[in-house]
Amino acid sequence: MDEGSATLGPLDVMRVMEALPHRYPMLLVDRVERLERDVSITAIKAVTINEQFFQGHFPGRPIMPGVLIVEALAQAAGVLAVESLGLAGSGKLVYFMAIDGAKFRLPVEPGCLLTLDVEFVQKRASVCKFAGRATVDGKLAAEANFTAMIADPPKQG
């Protein structure tokens, strides 16, 4: 799609990594299906048995930890914020400030495609609020509202 357009997508993992500092094993967004700048994003996390966390959560009944589902939503929000605020290549990072109303409805297992839908609730230059929903096959797996701040990375010293 046109880079100047308000709507982007699909975006592959290389484009996701241009927006986020996360890398394996913490990169939890594999693809962006649709991003409407200043509005919302739909992204995908392909959940595979090869994920490191499945070794211990839980052996014999692997389930993606709820906190990592929320982290995947936050990473999708990070891509939305970076693209909407024109921060790609700036070195700015999107940091969690608060998580509210997190609810987990459905276990997420290996083999699932986790769809991450996140929308802006409030957007300012340094603090943004988001509402996120994670679904599997159209069924709600988790939801949360969260706040993030846009800041410079920590100083190396």
| Active-site residue set | 57
> To which residue do tokens 């939503």 refer?
73
Picking from 141, 24, 126, the residue whose alpha carbon sits closest to that of residue 75 is 24
Q: Which of 123, 117, 120 is nearest to 76 (CA)?
A: 117
Which two tokens mark 43? 């992204």
Distances (CA, A) of 108 to 9, 17, 33, 116: 25, 24, 20, 13
Mapped onto helix, strand or coil, the DSSP state of residue 89 is coil
Q: How many CA atoms lie within 13 A of 115 on its CB side?
A: 10
